[in-house]
Amino acid sequence: MAISTIDSTGLNNVTTISTGSATLTLPASTGTLLSNNNPQSGGVIQVVQGLSTTYTTTTSTSYVTTTVTANITPKFSTSKILIMVCLNGVYNTNTGNSGATVAIFKNGSSLSLLMVNGAYIQDTHQQFAVLSGNYLDSPATTSSITYAIYFKQSYSGTVICQNSNEQSSITLMEIAA
């Protein structure tokens, strides 16, 4: 693969990328992610993902961790962190007044409620195939941050995450502000 006209300030001077018989020419208007080590607003600086298939249960009415967690160290204190969550196999074993509450935590403290669900279900189980959501955080730090998904039972019963060892994920994207 050949890359022509690239410089130390970033990708702003890349004009042609070729691999064998294919050639990609970038227009002159192509933006710059980094210029002199300063991020361009809206650019993705880094992406981190945490995955878990660990079967986790709780009967607690207080939040406990689900094992779906990821760490990120922002490169710039002005960056925002886009948190994307996909939690699979969420299930409440109770028949009747049952449910689950799920939240995003940052360094062990509640950051955002991801989803609340609780309803009176008679003679059936309360079951969710997938819970997903996003949150944009402004941490204002360049120190390591741990984001994790916590859950609790809403009314009664046992709440399960990653039922049948289904895979859940948390994806963190550092976005230049």
Residues 6+ apart with CB under 8 A from 59: 153, 157, 158, 159
Sorted by where each starts, the structural domains of the chain and their CATH numbers stand as 2-32 (no CATH), 44-175 (2.60.120.760)
Partnered with residue 148 across adjacent β-strands are: 69, 105
Length of the chain: 177
Residues 6+ apart with CB under 8 A from 156: 94, 96, 97, 98
CA distance 168 to 65: 13
In this structure, the number of other CB atoms found within 10 A of the CB of residue 47 comes to 12
Q: Which has more pLDDT, 101 or 6?
A: 101
Give the single-character DSSP code of 157. Answer: S
- Measured over the CA atoms of residue 74, residue 75, residue 77 and residue 79, the dihedral's sign is negative
* pLDDT (0 to 100) of residue 164: 81
Nearest CA to 68 out of 175, 166, 177 is that of 166
When mean pLDDT is compared across 14-28, 130-144, 162-176, the lowest value belongs to: 14-28
Could you tell me the pTM of the whole model? 0.72
Strand extents, DSSP E, 21-138: 22-25, 34-35, 38-39, 44-52, 56-58, 64-72, 80-106, 109-137
Is residue 52 packed enough to be buried (19+ CB in 10 Å), middle (13-18) or exposed (0-12)? buried
* pLDDT (0 to 100) of residue 136: 94
Q: Which has more pLDDT, 23 or 129?
A: 129
Report pLDDT digits (tens) over 133-165: 899 999 999 999 999 999 888 777 788 888 888
